[in-house]
Amino acid sequence: MDHPVPLFVLIISLYYASVFGAFREFSEFSRVSSNDNKIPTLDILGEYEAIQSLSECSSRCFKRPGCTTFFFNRGSGKCFATSSANGLEMFDGFMQFSIQTSILQWRIFGKSYYLLVKSKLAILEAQRHCLTLGAKLVEVDTPEENTFLTNMAIQENVDIHLGITDAFVEGQWVFLSSLDPVPLVNWSSRNPDNYRNQDCAGIAGYEGYKWDDYDCSSKMNFVCERLIG
């Protein structure tokens, strides 16, 4: 079947971004100047050396669920990721920054963290957004994970993109992040129907929270997934 070249280009570029970890550094943080020249002694989630930039330190914090603030020393390259700003001690050269708490609602299931993003984007835009968080658009590996995501969609009353496509070979669904075959499916009774070359899919409330295939330009809410650890 025929596809516009940009679709392949975008999928391949996202694939290589996933494989080689080319994540855009996280930048949603704010300065807390009242705590300059202090370091944390409590609630430390991570302590890092040789950090090259403020955005790298913020990225380390964001990739630790529960981290709400971080402390960075440009001169020494030292970075602390913490869940609070309690128990501070004086130490020259450090600056404190806070992560925006509205985007920290990660959920734990199995071996992954999941973040429901209630912002409707096309599927490739959603994958890009997940990559900026050190994550990927959610990919279903097990029946249990599918049940977890289905329940989430029902509870939140949303449709959810899945990180899968058959844009390369019709009917052969693969994961966006790795291009590996999708091991299980949960299609509704009339899908996938490939109506007008539908190459993307998700959990759809209008299909009884089963999987539906649709055009890749369709905008839905989505879930980002990243492994624990």
Q: Which residues fall within 8 angstroms of residue 161, CB to CB, at 6 or more apart?
A: 121, 123, 126, 137, 138, 200, 202, 220, 221, 222, 223
Single-letter amino acid, residue 158: V
- List the domains of the chain with CATH numbers: 29-99 (3.50.4.10), 104-227 (3.10.100.10)
Tokens of 200: 């993307």
pLDDT band at 22 (very low <50, low <70, confident <90, very high): very low
Contact 199, 165 (CB under 8 A): yes
pLDDT band at 11 (very low <50, low <70, confident <90, very high): low
Give per-residue pLDDT as tens, 32-63. Answer: 888 999 999 999 999 999 999 887 898 888 77
- State how beta strands 78-82 and 44-48 pair: antiparallel
Q: Where are the alpha helices (DSSP H) in 97-142?
A: 123-132
Give per-residue pLDDT as tens, 119-166. Answer: 899 998 999 888 877 789 999 999 999 999 999 999 999 999 999 999
- Answer yes or no: is pLDDT of 98 > 80: yes
